[in-house]
Structure 1
Amino acid sequence: MNLNPEQITDYASHFLKVLIDYSPKLISAFLILFVGLYVIRLINRFIRKLMISRKLEPTLTKFLADILLWVLRVLLFVSFIGKLGIETSSFVAILGAMGLAVGLSLQGSLSNFAGGMLIILFKPFKVGNTIEAQGVVGTVSEIQIFVTKLITSNNQTIFIPNGSLSNGTIINYSLQETRRADLNIAISYDTDIKKAKEIIMTVLNSNPKILKTPAAEVSVKSLTDTGIQLAVRPWAKNEHFWGVYSDTLEECKRAFDAAGITIQPFVMELSKSTENNSKKEQSNQ
């Protein structure tokens, strides 16, 4: 198509007229955009400082600040295109539909997100605590929005989804400063119970890591077919718990050996297992 000079002049004049008529909206829209971005940055900094001063969890502080930042940016963008004269109702409807589709496709992730928020807000445990949950025991290394990372005693890393973690039973071994070790020692019926209890108490009293208050206890737990079950209950600080647990068993064994007392083996479980296996073999034959 060939354009003569008069048509070019008409197009140019029309373009300039439209640009002049539209320039106030264009200038005001970009002014709103740049001022809005600056104000959003100031609001985000203020919110971060406020949450830090309230001593919220760093993970929660960063996440909430990022969420607020993107929400304000989306609202600013809607205002920007609305100022340009673009219809925003359809744009908002598209955003709503996209949000619904994403929500339906990420139901599991949203459940984990909600669980992470509950954990961060109510703090059933914190980083450094030793917990038992979902069948595993470990030290909390990191609390993320969707998962919680545990480090086990054999240095394995376990990631537990926050959704199942927040809805299940959590045992926090670090929440209290002290912890009781529940030990069972079996002796034969020929053993003097009083003497055995005195030997165990001597072992407990000689261990400086065992607390005097609450006092350690030694009592008869049960009388079984194979022997007498003694319950040994020493208390210790969390950092000394496993040392007290193993030392008590070892020192009681040594003290019993020196006194001529034999710890009764758990033969009942073994005999039952053997009996069940023999019955299975007979049924298979």
Structure 2
Amino acid sequence: MEELNLNDLSKIQEKAIDMAFQFGPVLLKAVILLLAGRFVIKMLIRLLTNALSKYEVDASLATFFKSFLSALLWVLLIISIATTLGMQMTSFIAILGAAGLAVGLALQGSLANFAGGVLILVFKPFRVGDTIEAQGTLGSVESIDILYTKIRNFDNKVVTIPNGALANNAITNFSLKPTRRVDMSVGVAYGTDLKKTRKVILDILNKDERVHEDPAPVVYFGNFGDSSLDLTIRCWTDAADLWPVYWDSMEAIKEAFEANDIEVPFPQRDVNHYYPEGKK
């Protein structure tokens, strides 16, 4: 029995050695191909990045191209490794097709995101660097990848949104036009001279070099409020100066009101108490 076991062990060892000599070089070749292919993919992506930067290709297209090329090269590398390991190309394509169908059904959302990314790059509702509002997020577009778009909001959080959702829903682009309208509103006390107030506000806006002369700034009386006469103020400026003009103008208007004795009222109520006849 012991001799039989030794013979079996010897046969197993011989078979293992034969398999090692048979499959070892192939496996080693596949590992070398994997390492070399990984290095080549990194080099090609780096060359593509430099080329896109050199020719000043739009940042949105550049990010998408790099993501797509990387995915394509890895698929080709996997096919090459499978072929090296002895898998027949026809069989591998059949398996890949069946797997692709199964994965396609399982990843319908991802395919929709890929199509959404293509639509975004074709129709360009926004670009990298634009300030947009979409899906409840307001911020600057950091990158457009093959499946997702990254938006950095103004408190430095990065929100990742699927491209399919962006391509099929409303998007507000704040950077598409070079100029923006600044909307402000102030309230003054009842009895205030509106012509004087309008002149004070327009003098402030006309002195600000950031405010455009055409269209000219305007001040309209808009509403009889509960405690104030409500004024609507509108002027135009460069998109980058929108909020600085708003903040500086509101502060300057407040100081000008104080200097010209224009009262900004606070909420108030008149309360009248009626007593029955003969009562104090």
Post-superposition CA distance 1:133-181 (Å, at most 9, x none): 1222111122222222222222222222222222222111111111111
Per the TM alignment, residue 64 of structure 1 is displaced from its structure 2 partner at its CA by 4.3
Alignment correspondent of 2:29: none
- Letter of the 1:61 partner, please give it: F
Alignment correspondent of 2:100: 99
Q: TM-score, normalised by structure 2?
A: 0.67
Secondary structure at the residue paired with 2:215? coil
Secondary structure at the residue paired with 1:124? coil
Alignment correspondent of 2:248: 247
Alignment correspondent of 1:62: 66
Alignment correspondent of 1:112: 113
> Within 2, Cα distance between the matches of 1:125 and 1:180?
20
> Within 2, Cα distance between the matches of 1:65 and 1:97?
23
Per the TM alignment, residue 201 of structure 1 is displaced from its structure 2 partner at its CA by 0.4
- Letter of the 1:187 partner, please give it: V
Per the TM alignment, residue 76 of structure 1 is displaced from its structure 2 partner at its CA by 8.2
Question: How many residue pairs align between the two structures?
Answer: 224
> Within 2, Cα distance between the matches of 1:153 and 1:85?
52
Alignment correspondent of 2:179: 178
Per the TM alignment, residue 249 of structure 1 is displaced from its structure 2 partner at its CA by 0.7
Per the TM alignment, residue 223 of structure 1 is displaced from its structure 2 partner at its CA by 2.6
Q: TM-score, normalised by structure 1?
A: 0.66
- Letter of the 2:147 partner, please give it: F
> Within 2, Cα distance between the matches of 1:267 and 1:96?
75
> Within 1, Cα distance between the matches of 2:118 and 2:72?
15
CA separation of 1:150/1:266 partners in 2, compared to 1, >3 Å: closer, same or farther?
Answer: farther
CA RMSD of aligned residues (A): 3.5
CA separation of 1:226/1:203 partners in 2, compared to 1, >3 Å: closer, same or farther?
Answer: same
CA separation of 1:93/1:250 partners in 2, compared to 1, >3 Å: closer, same or farther?
Answer: same
Identical aligned residues as a percent = 41
CA separation of 1:219/1:58 partners in 2, compared to 1, >3 Å: closer, same or farther?
Answer: same
Per the TM alignment, residue 228 of structure 1 is displaced from its structure 2 partner at its CA by 2.0
Per the TM alignment, residue 112 of structure 1 is displaced from its structure 2 partner at its CA by 2.1
Alignment correspondent of 1:207: 208
What pairs with 1:78-97 in structure 2 (closer than 5 Å)? Answer: 88=90, 91-97=92-98
Alignment correspondent of 2:263: 262
For structure 1, list consecutive stretches of 5 or more residues without a partner in the other structure: 1-36, 269-285
